[in-house]
Amino acid sequence: MKHIFTIAAVLVLALSGVSQAADKTFKPDDEGYIRNWLMLDSPISLDEKASEHSEDNQKDFFDKEYIPNQFKATPAEGEKVKAGTADKTWKALQSDDGVYKFESVDNALYLAIAYVTAEADMADVTLSIGSDDSSLWRVNGAEVVRVYSGRGVEKDQDKSKPFALKKGVNVVYAAVINGGGETGMSARFLDKGDKPVNNLVISMAPGAGAAAPAADPAKKP
């Protein structure tokens, strides 16, 4: 009986740790760049066409769903998912800079999600991104930026047309194709005057941003 109680206590503590991790919140840095992302623990393998950075070669990779409900998924940290026959896990990761460098894998698709909570409706914002190589970006399920390019990643390489962030949680989705060599991404929101939007809360679970105070982005998850 004592062993049963011990096991139960361990399970409660473990589940509590997962909940606390999911409830962590963060802020964009001073320039508005999002440094905290949920990412699959390994990228999705693509065929050699991924190294040809053109719409003809890469469009199908962006339009295909590799995981269930990919374009509207709302995972939490630690959640497991099937990508074909492979088991993958959503992990909370943080960059020390406005550019997030991935572990490089050739001919691969990287998926990332961030939950961005706004205090009020915000009209005429833009998403300013960088990526190595091609990338596709969605906000609340709607595509806002798509880029076909073989390049190194830098901040603010491309910018969406103006759109609205809603009050509450907004889901930012990124898909980046790496043909070969180094790879990474960058993203921030700009207001209609092209100034960084800093009054946002970044979280690793859909409901965390509205319920918890924002943490210092310099602290590691």
Q: Mind listing the pLDDT tens digit for each residue in 68-93?
A: 999 999 999 999 999 999 999 999 99
**3-state SS class at 165:** strand
Q: Does residue 124 lie within any of the structural domains?
A: yes
Q: Does residue 167 lie within any of the structural domains?
A: yes
Taking a C-beta distance cutoff of 8 angstroms, is the pair 143, 190 a contact? no
pTM score over 0.95: no
Q: Does residue 221 lie within any of the structural domains?
A: no
Q: Number of folded domains in the chain?
A: 1
For the four alpha carbons of 195, 198, 201 and 203, in that order, the dihedral sign comes to positive
Give the list of residues 6+ apart from residue 130 with CB closer than 8 angstroms, or none: 99, 153, 154, 155, 156, 157, 158, 184, 185, 186, 187
Q: Does residue 210 lie within any of the structural domains?
A: no
Q: Does residue 57 lie within any of the structural domains?
A: yes
At residue 77's C-alpha, the angle toward residues 72 and 82, to 5°, is 60
d(CA 26, CA 35): 9
Q: Does residue 171 lie within any of the structural domains?
A: yes
Q: Does residue 11 lie within any of the structural domains?
A: yes
Structure confidence at residue 4 as a pLDDT band (50, 70, 90): very low
Residue 85 structural domain: 2-203
For position 12, what pLDDT does the model report?
40
Q: What is the CATH number of the domain that holds 58?
A: 2.60.120
92-151 residue pLDDT tens: 999 999 999 999 999 999 999 999 999 999 999 999 999 999 999 999 999 999 999 999
Give percent above pLDDT 90 in the chain: 81
The 10 Å Cβ neighbour count of residue 95 is: 19
Both tokens of residue 167? 């009050």
pLDDT exceeds 50 at position 204: yes
Q: Does residue 22 lie within any of the structural domains?
A: yes
